[in-house]
Structures are given as C-alpha cells and as structure tokens.
Amino acid sequence: MAATEEELEVLRTELLEKKTETEKQGEVVRALKGNKVDKKEIEEALQLLMKLKLEVQAKEKEITSKAAGSDGKGNSKESFRQQLNDTLTSRLFFIPAFKIYGGVAGLYDYGPPGCAIKANVLALWRQHYVLEESMLEIDCPCVTPEIVLKASGHVDKFTDFMVKDEKTGMCYRADHLLKDYCTEALEKDPLLTSAKRQELKEVLTTLDELNAAQLGEKIKEYKITAPDSKNPVSDPYPFNLMFSTSIGPSGNAPGFLRPETAQGIFVNFSKLYYYNGNKLPFAAAQIGQAFRNEIAPRQGLLRVREFTLAEIEHFVDPEDKSHPKFKDVADLEFLLYPRKEQLSMEKPVKTRIGDAVSQGVVNNETLGYFIARTYLFLTSLGIQKDRLRFRQHLPNEMAHYAADCWDAEIECSYGWIEVTGLADRSAYDLKAHSDKSNHDLSAFEKYAESKVFERLKITPHLKLLGPAFKKDGDTVGKALLAMSEEEALDMKAKLEADGQAPLEVCTTGKTFTIKKEQVSISKETVTEAGRKFTPAVIEPSFGIGRIIYCMYEHCFYTRPSKGGDEQLVVFKFPPIVAPIKCTVFPLIQNEKLNVVAKDLSVALTRAGVANKIDITGTSIGKRYARTDELGVPFAITVDFETDVTNDVTLRERDSRAQVRVPLKLIASVVRDISEGHLAWLEVLSIYPNVAPSQEE
C-alpha cells in the first residue's frame, strides 16, 4: 500500500537534509581542491560526496515510488485497484452500461452479485434506520417540476464550473483540471520547493471555495491545458448539473430529474407531521434514484450520473436537539476529524462520541446520535474501523444556514471518499418551501399550561389624528405605535395628568402635542397556548453506490493457492451483505449426490437463503476458489456418507474451517448465520470440526 502523506513528509525532510549535507560536502571538496591539500584527503572527501549523492538519489527514488503508492513489491494502489476492478467486472458486480453501443460515461449496470449486494445493503439500511428508529419512509417521483427545485436553490446554484477545449469543444470540470495539476505536481515532482509545495496544498484545500474568476486565474497561471489535446481551455463558466426534461405534452412545464431525494420529504412535511400525531421529533426517510449530469465523470462507481441515495430528514424543535437514545451510543469510540485538528494539520482523533457532544465538538445529541449510528451501520457492512472517519466541514465548506456538518469518509485507493453527509441544516429547507409555496410548514408546541402575560396596547385614533395633524396624521399615528413601553407609560401618565403630552417624531424632526382622546394606552392580558415554529432538520444522506464500492475495496484480499503458484481472490463480505450466502456441491460427480444437493438447494431457497448449486465436475478446490471470488461465506459439500440421517460438510470462507452438520439442520443453520442470528464461532463450538479439504 501507499505511504501516508505524513510518512512522505518525513522522507521529504530527510531528503532536504541529505541535499543540504551534499551541498556542504561539495563546498568542502571545492575548498580542499582550492587549498591543494593532500590527495588522500581530497579523495576521502570526494568519496563521501559521492556516497551522499547516491543517498540523495535513493531517497528521491523512494519518495517517487512511495508517493505513487508502491510498497516496493509492485503492489501499488493502481495495481490493487486494477486487480479489484478486473474481478468486479469479470464477475459482473458492475459493468459499464450500454457497452455494446460504446457505453456512456458515468452510467453503470449492477450485474447479479452487485444487484444482490445492493438489495442486501438497502434491506440492512431499512432495518437499521427505518425500523429501529420508527422512521416514516416515503417514495417520491424522480421527475420533479421546476418550481420545487427553484425553491430549494438547485435551479440557480446546483452548478459546477466547466471549461471547454477551445479547439475540440471537449468539456472539463475546471476544479478537476486544477486539482489534477496540483496533485500530480505534489506526487510526481519530489523536488518541488517547500514554498511551492505549500502553495499547491493551499490550492487543494481551498478548491471548493474558488469562484469562476479565481479558477480561471489559477488555470492561466499554471498554464493548464486540455488533458486530451493539450489545447488551451476557455474561461470557466457555471454548468447546471441537473438533467432537464419537459413534463406533459404541452412543452410548457419544465422539469428535472431530482438531484437528491430530500425535497420530496420537505414538500410533504405537513402531512408527515400530521401522520405522526403532530408531534416532534420524527424522521422521514427515502431510498431512491438521484441524477447528476456530471461534466466529466471518472473514478468508476464513485462519481456517476445516476445513483441510489438513502436519505433521512429528522425534524426537531430547534430549541431542543437532545436525543432520548443518545445514551445508548455515547460510549462508542471512533475516528473524528474536527475542524480544529484539520486547520492545525493534526490527525483525526479516536474520540468517545459522548465526549465530543458534551465538549461541543459535535453540535448536539441528535447529530451525534446519527454519527454514531452511521459508524455502526458502515462497520457492519465490512468497512474497516481504522479507515473510516467523520470529518467536520470547515466553516467555508458549510452552507451559511447550517449549524454543523460532518462527512463520513472512507479511505480507499482514491483517497478519503465522502460516503455519507450528516448535516444540521437548521430550518432552511422548510422555510424556503414555505415561502415559495405559501403553505405553512411549521410545527406547534402546546405548552403544558397556557402562558398568561400582560402586554401594553397602544391604539392611535386615526379619525381624530387626521383632522388634528392633516398631512402629518399618518406619521403621528405610526410614531405613537413605535413608542417603547417606557415612552408609552410616560405619555399615558402625562395624558392622565395634563390631558395632553408632547410627541417627538425623529423622522420629521418635529414635536407634536397629543391630546388624551387621540390615543388609548392600556395593558391587556394575553394567553398563549403554545408556540409555533419552523422545525430544524438534521439530514444524514447516504450514497449507496459509493458505500458499496468502498466495501468492495475493504473486503477484497488475495491469498496463495494451495500450490502457492497463484494468488486467489477473496471478498470477505459479512454474511448479511454477501450476494449469495451459500453454495452447495456434491463432492464428486455422482447422480445420487446430485439429487441430495438439488433437494438441499431447494430447501435453502424455501428458507430464503440465496444459494448456488455447482454440479460441474470441477475440483473441489477450484469450486471453492470460484465461490470465494464472489464472496460467498459458506459452502456445503455433500459427500458419500450423506443420507437423510447423515451429515454434510459446512466450510467458512475466510478461516476455511469446516464442520459436520446434520443434513436436516443445515438449511436453518445457514439461514441463522446468514441473517446474523448465529455466529460462526458458535457453529464451530456446536458441531464437530473436520480437517480442511486436501485440495485447498
């Protein structure tokens, strides 16, 4: 695997020291030569210089190689990714869509194993969030009328900056060109000066904040050209990422494919609030397709034009963001990367989420609760704990209305990838739709007891003010209403004492004399049954395709074949997400064994266990290897000894351990371990273990 940025920094410092040392030694040699000292002394100094130069070269080579991700054994990030992708596409986990027509960038098909994994991940998501948190799941159309996305801001602001090759017209994302330039320079040019290195790093950090003009300036400054043709590129300009269409036959109803599923929840807030018995907090959830017409998609499944989102909108009283179940997760510890640590270039910190909330690092319990639940969800899919972190948005990354935002990021061969956003979006979205639609999208909290309080009431009698002050009547009326409580009480006292009182109107600079009958000032009693407010929303939003891709990376490994002459590929998917839970095969080709195997496969299917039967005569070792490559966690071998009262062999993928289980129990055992009701360790302790097959 590649070296971390920190390790590279150490190497670069060492290189710099070595270079300085070399330069100094060069001066020593020159000085010695000038002084015409003893030949032997010069020779020794020269040898040291030579040695230092060789060390500098070696160090440079080491940096270049480590920066490219090589570990010295040729297992670079790129070759790991290539091997993974070869397996994924050859076994149809995913493939480029419409391939026979040349394909379309950013559109992929999920083949049988990928499709099963996606269904399993979504089922787990439903169980983990919708069921366990009693969320209201809804399902809205992808086709969305323009007004909805106008209100949400997407029509005006959902853009990326694009540049065009000035000769071929080819389109590129401006920030990608700049990013690639900086990354390549940093990775492949180990001899950059520290100052330049620092500058490029700063560009990378602030990339998301640059406007069109700033991006254009940098592109000109670094003389960046179109990657395919090396032609000059245009100035950057905004391109809206939504796919547009037209709804109905008239051509007068513009629409878009939704870029996220959240808006469908917001526009239904009132109905969902009512469905929930007009009570807060509650969460609504939606799983569905979203669409972004990316300018130039790349990075495989990580940046696509159509993808599945699973989104939650948790509506809360902005004055009370506590969570009743926070205590259940407060003791969980995992990597947090708060703003402070990022800005001071420190590392993510393993933190107890309870502490992060109580210390104000995470804004509130509800947000903290969802961060912790997301940690549990992602790791249950097989994501490695030490390659998962929650990174807080920097102030400039966050929308102006947001209270706090964290991204779940997973480390993979492309770097740290955002797979889930967790944002406290305050009341922004509901307010935007309320304003645009003129529908009240507020909640009402009834007080346990009505609040009764006194309030000063000023009533200018306009019918008398008009005749008395002519054209100033209106101004005087407004000035009376604008009095502070103190001024009003003062006036009331004067009117009662003298029958009149002076009123200074600062807007006109005049003072008017008000008569007692021209205004009433009195106290009134007000009863308030409750308060009306727009709920805040905390939004965890999951990119399912990205999560699945990262899971592929974290579950993929190779191990030598029995002969040691081959590296065999394995996906160590947890049983609950594995596309096929179990294979069934007769030990050898034999009609009787085939019948038992087929009956067993039917029994497994009845029990809801996705299974695959393999009655080809291939060697048992090869059949195991085939199922390992699909990440099938269990394999049942039917051997000679089998009849109804007899046992079959059950083999676990990663340990390759084997046990003998009675045929009549095997279907329910495999169902229980696949659904997570029974652990493999328990199976090992219950049933007799056997030595692994000789062929493995």
Q: Which is nearer to a copy of itself, 287 or 458 (CB)?
A: 287
CB atoms within 10 A of CB 654: 13
One of 68, 115, 678, 684 touching a copy of itself (CB under 8 A): 115
Helix (H) or strand (E) holding 237: strand 237-240
Inter-residue contact 114 to 94 (CB < 8 Å): yes
Query: Of 13 and 90, which CB lies nearer to a copy of itself in the complex structure?
Result: 90
From the list 124-132, 378-386, 443-451, 528-536, the region that binds a copy of itself by CB under 8 A is 124-132
Binding to a copy of itself in span 402-441, by CB under 8 A: 433, 436-437, 439, 441
Residue 332 as a binder of a copy of itself (CB under 8 A): the answer is no
Distance separating alpha carbons of residues 656 and 653, to the nearest angstrom: 5
Query: Following DSSP, what letter does each residue of 279-332 receive, concatenated?
Result: -SSEEEEEEEEEE---SS--SGGGS-SEEEEEEEEEEE-TT----TTHHHHTT-
Stretch that binds a copy of itself, among 73-81, 96-104, 223-231, 566-574 (CB under 8 A): 96-104
In this structure, what token pair is assigned to residue 226? 């179109």
549 binds a copy of itself (CB under 8 A): no
Quick one: angle between helices 77-90 and 544-555, nearest 10? 110
* Pairing between β-strand 306-316 and β-strand 415-424 as defined by DSSP bridges: unpaired
The footprint of a copy of itself on this chain (CB under 8 A) covers a number of residues equal to 77
Taking CB under 8 A as the criterion, the residue among 72, 73, 74, 100 binding a copy of itself is: 100
Q: 127 to 146, contacts with a copy of itself by CB under 8 A?
A: 127, 131-132, 134, 136-145
The span of 24-32, 251-259, 591-599, 631-639 binding a copy of itself (CB under 8 A) equals: 251-259
Nearer CB in complex with a copy of itself: 56/610: 610
Smallest distance, a copy of itself to C-beta of residue 173, A: 9
> Which x/- pattern, by CB under 8 A, does the window 271-290 give for a copy of itself?
xx--x-------------x-
Give exposure, 133-155, as e/b (b: 16+ Cβ within 10 Å).
Answer: bebbbbebebebebebbebbebb
Binding flag, residue 268, a copy of itself (CB under 8 A):
yes
From residue 514, alpha-carbon distances to 178, 502, 507, 509 in Å are 70, 6, 17, 16
Least CB distance to a copy of itself at residue 632 (A): 14
257 in contact with a copy of itself (CB under 8 A):
yes
In angstroms, the CA 291 to CA 271 distance is 26
The residue (of 126 and 461) whose beta carbon lies closer to a copy of itself is 126
- Name residues contacting a copy of itself, limited to 586-605 (CB under 8 A): 605
Of the candidates 271, 237, 259, 270, the one whose C-alpha atom is nearest the C-alpha of residue 146 is: 259
Report residue 269 as tokens: 């807030």
Nearest to 378 by CA among 604, 370, 259: 370
Least distance (Å) between residue 150 CB and a copy of itself: 10
How far apart are alpha carbons 582 and 653 in whole angstroms? 10
Q: Which is nearer to a copy of itself, 222 or 243 (CB)?
A: 243
Nearer to a copy of itself, 265 or 367 (CB): 265
Q: What's the token pair of residue 82?
A: 């290539």
- 328 is a site residue for a copy of itself (CB under 8 A): no
Stretch that binds a copy of itself, among 36-44, 237-245, 412-420, 421-429 (CB under 8 A): 237-245
Which positions from 440 through 499 interact with a copy of itself, judged by CB under 8 A? Answer: 441
CA atoms within 13 A on the CB side of 351: 24
Q: Which of residues 175-204 bind a copy of itself (CB under 8 A)?
A: none
Of 4, 57, 231, 244, the one binding a copy of itself by CB under 8 A:
244
Neighbours of 174 (CB within 10 A): 28
